[in-house]
Amino acid sequence: MYFVNTLQYRAAAVSGMCTQFFFGLVMIMVYVVFYREHPEAYPTGLQAIVSYVWLQQGFLQMYLVIEMEQFDAIVDGTVAYELCRPLDLYGMWFAKSLAGRMSRALMRCVPLLLASSLLPEPYGLRAPPTLQAGVLTLVSMGLGLLVAVAIGMVLYGAGFYTLSPLGIRTLALSCLNFFGGGVIPLPFFPEGVRQAVEFLPFASMQNTPFLVYGGELTGGGLVWALSLQVFWAAALIALGRLLLRRGMRKLVIQGG
């Protein structure tokens, strides 16, 4: 149902895709020039970064967003209706956010990734180096999606306490974008900073799967990154549940 719902906004999706494509192209051109001029300072292979940027643009709506809908529900009181339903609020919002992200991302990623794979070397998206990397990317993307939704849920939970969730949302979006690798891929962070940032939950969203795709994460590092994803997903879901339950107890619905 939700999938069909979001499919309606086709015009917005098309223009969004064009913008994403242009952004991706501009970013990649810069990274290619950097690679040509200073290959020795490059943290990874060039193809891995190109794939990283394209996947990020394709799946932008999956990871680097925080939906407004639930915040609105808290502020305008729609949450009261939700509470009347015989369903667990956390579970329902979680499923809603998951479905929304998947449908928006799936609709946009197919044309965008197709178009980007048609670009000439070295600008285009290419298949992952091994089949194993491809399969593990899918696994890791799923885990990353759980982490992303769980982060969103924690913020909704925090929204009950402030009643001015818009401020929180903008600040959180900046953090998400920067520490998630949306501004520049995490491997470009300076040594020392990078190691610290990689431990944060934000790195477990899109950074891990996209590095796996480029074949940059293998062996022990891969196992560590995947377990970190599982850990953050579990921890954040637990935290979100707690916040939501607590918030519910002090929730006052103001008037009819």
Partner 1 sequence: MRLYFQFVKMQFNSDAIHRLSFFFRCLGQFLMSFTEFLGIFFLLNRFGDIGGFTAQQVLLCFGLAYFSLSAAECVFSGFANFPKYISDGSFDRMMVRPRGLLFQVLGCRMDFTRLSKLLQAAVILACGVLGGGISWTLARACTFILMLLGGTLIFSGLFIIYAALCFFTLQGLEIMNVLTYGGREMMQYPIGVYGKGFLLVFTFLVPFACVQYYPLLTLLRPGCPWWWALLPLAGLLFFGSCLLLWRFGVRHYKSTGS
Give the whole-angstrom CA distance, residue 101 versus residue 206.
Answer: 13
User: With respect to partner 1, which residue has the nearer C-beta, 25 or 251?
Assistant: 25
Nearest to partner 1 of 190, 255 (CB atom): 190
Which residue in the block uniquely carries the two structure tokens 């402030």? 162
Report, in Å, the least distance between residue 54 CB and partner 1: 16
Q: List the one residue from 5, 10, 22, 68 that touches partner 1 (CB under 8 A).
A: 22
Residue 35 CB, shortest distance to partner 1, in Å, is: 9
Residue 161 contacts partner 1 per CB under 8 A:
no
**Residues of this chain, 41-100, that bind partner 1 according to CB under 8 A:** 41, 43
Judge contact between 239 and 154, C-beta under 8 A.
Answer: yes
Say whether residue 123 binds partner 1 (CB under 8 A). no
Q: What is the 3-state secondary structure (H, E, C) of the chain?
A: CHHHHHHCCHHHHHHHHHHHHHHHHHHHHHHHHHHHHCHHHCCCCHHHHHHHHHHHHHCHHHHCCCCCHHHHHHHHCCHHHHHHCCCCHHHHHHHHHHHHHHHHHHHHHHHHHHHHHCCCCCCCCCCCCCHHHHHHHHHHHHHHHHHHHHHHHHHHHHHHHHCCHHHHHHHHHHHHHHHCCCCCCHHHCCCCHHHHHHHCHHHHCCHHHHHHHCCCCCHHHHHHHHHHHHHHHHHHHHHHHHHHHHHHHHCCCCCC
Among 16, 122, 129, 134, binds partner 1 (CB under 8 A): 16
CB of 75 to partner 1, least distance (A): 12
> Within positions 171 to 210, which residues make up the interface with partner 1, using CB under 8 A?
171, 173-174, 177-178, 183-184, 188-190
Interface region with partner 1, contact rule CB under 8 A, candidates 21-29, 70-78, 82-90, 138-146: 21-29
From candidates 3, 5, 10, 18, binder to partner 1 by CB under 8 A? 18
| Site map 132..151 versus partner 1, x via CB under 8 A | --------------------
Interface residue list for partner 1 (CB under 8 A): 11-12, 14-16, 18-19, 22-23, 26-27, 29-30, 33-34, 37-38, 41, 43, 164, 166-167, 170-171, 173-174, 177-178, 183-184, 188-190
